């Protein structure tokens, strides 16, 4: 896939003006019709990821030694044969645009298709953002209609999973659905974080509640939808006209469609899927990669996860030490001891340093005799000589934020959420 430079900041100041396009007929206004295109919602601020996303939008957060979170949705699209993808950026939009555009040996831009970065109008003036997930699609109706799709796949850009969207699309067609939501059973304690639904035996959704405090079910939305475009467009336009709406799919569009008796179905997914919206879940997903028999393997080539990272897949090696496996980028300098950890490209781990059960993100520097355990060290962060950074207790995972500096202290360091820095425990 490549990024079409003509659409890097595509935005219609007036949707109706863009529809008429100087009087051209509908046939003249569209490119080759597509049965299905994808729209990736990539504007999440990632407030629950604390200091890791101080400067990064959540979909741009590094993952697995050589990827960013958005690579999973984009790669799933390419592997599923969906060759037209709009990425709806927001917040720190240019950081994410640079990732999509950047060159790389295994980059998505080599695949045959196009990825379009669709920034909101406010982003041009360095203000964010779309008013909500539904508004993000509404503001890009003109973009969607250029391809005249029958179906639109709408995805979150910050989940870790491999999925063939063709299976989801075929299920949607078989059911004659207006919308199909991919779902997965989550642990009951986590259910209040998600859109939760109840279904009939045939998979038809008869109840949907966004982030209920007391859920009746643990069947959660994965943030993966297939909509019949003509139907969705009607609801987007009605929602935009409602001044009381949050302009959100989970809070407004899905409930409205249920209330009107539209055909909504749940597609049960049985593979690995992780919503990495918290520090703990992002850490757990990295540790999942290091299991003896990992539930999720980035190095399997039957469904490759592409990247625009400068690190090549072949340069990410899995090592076996006394205490378990590690993933270490060849484009890193490791002079100290590493056990059961993920080490990204461009990192430096000095002589005498020890890193255990941790994630060291791109460009981080770990000084001599530093001790890191159960921690996430953000991009460009520095852990000074002899510094101790350990998770535990009320803070299961310690964090040194993006471009932050951790200094030595007499006591161990943990992450202080109120200050987004490491302090003495």
Distance CA 232, CA 229 (A): 5
Q: Do 317 and 262 have their domain in common?
A: no
Report the share of the chain in percent with pLDDT over 90: 63
Higher pLDDT pick, 9 / 114: 114
Higher pLDDT pick, 223 / 95: 223
Q: Do 257 and 165 have their domain in common?
A: yes
DSSP characters over 256-314: HHHHTT--EEEEE--S-EEE--SHHHHHHHHHHTTSSS-SS-TT-SSS-----SSS-GG
Tell me the per-residue pLDDT of 70-102, one tens digit each, with 9 for 90 and over: 999 999 999 999 999 999 986 554 455 555 554
| 39 within some domain | yes
Q: Do 350 and 214 have their domain in common?
A: no
At 28, the pLDDT band (50, 70, 90 cuts) reads very low
Question: Which of these ranges, 120-124, 168-172, 260-264, 355-359, has the smallest mean pLDDT?
Answer: 120-124
* Torsion of Cα atoms, 175 then 180 then 185 then 189, to 10°: -140
Q: Do 176 and 40 have their domain in common?
A: yes
| 189 within some domain | yes
| 386 within some domain | yes
Distance CA 3, CA 366 (A): 35
Mean pLDDT confidence for 31-53: 80
Q: Do 175 and 256 have their domain in common?
A: yes
Q: Do 262 and 333 have their domain in common?
A: no
Q: Do 16 and 161 have their domain in common?
A: yes
Contact of 42 with 53, CB cutoff 8 Å: no
| 205 within some domain | yes
Tell me the per-residue pLDDT of 303-345, one tens digit each, with 9 for 90 and over: 999 886 655 544 566 666 655 689 998 889 999 999 999 999 9
| 416 within some domain | yes
Q: Do 274 and 366 have their domain in common?
A: no
Closest alpha carbon to 100 in 132, 129, 75: 75
Question: Which of these ranges, 11-20, 267-276, 398-407, has the smallest mean pLDDT?
Answer: 11-20
Q: Do 31 and 125 have their domain in common?
A: yes
Q: Do 83 and 46 have their domain in common?
A: yes
Residue 209 has pLDDT above 60, yes or no: yes
The DSSP symbol for 13 reads S
How many domains does the chain divide into?
Answer: 2
Mean pLDDT confidence for 21-47: 65
In this prediction, residue 292 carries a pLDDT of 83
What CATH number is attached to the domain comprising 209? 3.90.550.10
pTM for this one? 0.85
Domain that holds residue 108: 2-281
Question: Which of these ranges, 1-5, 34-38, 155-159, 229-233, has the smallest mean pLDDT?
Answer: 1-5
DSSP characters over 160-183: EE---HHHHHHHHHHHT-SEEEEE
Residue 417 has pLDDT above 50, yes or no: no
| 29 within some domain | yes
Residue 120 has pLDDT above 90, yes or no: no
| 289 within some domain | no
Q: Do 277 and 326 have their domain in common?
A: no
Tell me the per-residue pLDDT of 122-144, one tens digit each, with 9 for 90 and over: 444 444 578 899 999 999 999 99
Helices 93-101 & 70-79 angle (0-180, nearest 10):
40
Q: Do 276 and 317 have their domain in common?
A: no
Residue 152 has pLDDT above 70, yes or no: yes
| 294 within some domain | no
In this prediction, residue 240 carries a pLDDT of 96
Residue 401 has pLDDT above 60, yes or no: yes
The DSSP symbol for 216 reads S
What CATH number is attached to the domain comprising 395? 2.160.10.10
Distance CA 127, CA 375 (A): 33
């Amino acid at each position: 896939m490549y990024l079409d430079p003509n659409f890097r900041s595509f935005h219609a100041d007036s949707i109706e003006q863009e529809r008429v396009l100087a009087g051209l007929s509908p046939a003249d206004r569209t490119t080759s019709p597509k049965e299905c295109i994808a729209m990736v919602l990539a504007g999440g601020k990632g407030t629950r990821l604390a200091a890791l996303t101080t400067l990064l939008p959540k979909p741009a957060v590094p993952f697995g030694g050589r990827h960013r979170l958005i690579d999973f949705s984009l790669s799933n699209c390419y592997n599923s044969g969906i060759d037209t993808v709009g990425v709806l950026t927001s917040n720190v939009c240019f950081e994410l645009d640079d990732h999509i555009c950047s060159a790389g040996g295994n980059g998505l831009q080599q695949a045959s298709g196009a990825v379009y970065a669709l920034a909101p109008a406010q982003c041009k003036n360095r203000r964010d953002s779309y008013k909500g997930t539904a508004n993000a699609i509404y503001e890009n109706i003109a973009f969607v209609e250029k391809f005249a799709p029958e179906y639109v796949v709408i995805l979150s850009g910050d989940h870790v999973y491999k999925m063939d969207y063709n299976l989801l699309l075929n299920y949607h067609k078989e059911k004659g659905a207006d919308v199909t939501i991919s779902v997965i059973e989550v642990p009951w304690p986590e259910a209040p974080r998600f859109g939760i639904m109840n279904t009939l035996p045939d998979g038809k959704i008869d109840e949907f509640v966004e982030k209920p405090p007391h859920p009746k079910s643990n069947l959660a939305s994965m943030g993966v939808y297939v909509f019949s475009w003509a139907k969705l467009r009607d609801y987007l336009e009605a929602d935009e006209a409602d001044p009381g709406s949050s302009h959100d799919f989970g809070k407004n569009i899905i409930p409205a469609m249920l209330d009107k008796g539209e055909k909504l179905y749940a597609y049960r997914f049985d593979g690995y899927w992780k919503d990495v919206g918290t520090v703990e879940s992002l850490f757990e997903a990295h540790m999942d990669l290091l299991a003896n028999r990992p539930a999720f393997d980035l190095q399997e080539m039957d469904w490759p996860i592409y990247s625009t990272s400068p690190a090549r897949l072949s340069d990410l090696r899995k090592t076996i030490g006394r205490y378990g496996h590690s993933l270490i980028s060849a484009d890193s300098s490791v002079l100290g001891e590493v056990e059961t950890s993920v080490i990204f490209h461009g990192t430096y781990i000095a002589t005498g340093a020890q890193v255990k059960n941790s994630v060291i993100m791109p460009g981080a520097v770990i000084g001599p005799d530093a001790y890191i355990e159960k921690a996430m060290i953000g991009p460009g962060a520095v852990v000074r000589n002899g510094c101790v950074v350990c998770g535990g207790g009320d803070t299961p995972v310690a964090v040194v934020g993006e471009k932050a500096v951790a200094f030595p202290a007499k006591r161990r360091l943990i992450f202080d959420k109120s200050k987004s820095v490491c302090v003495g425990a």
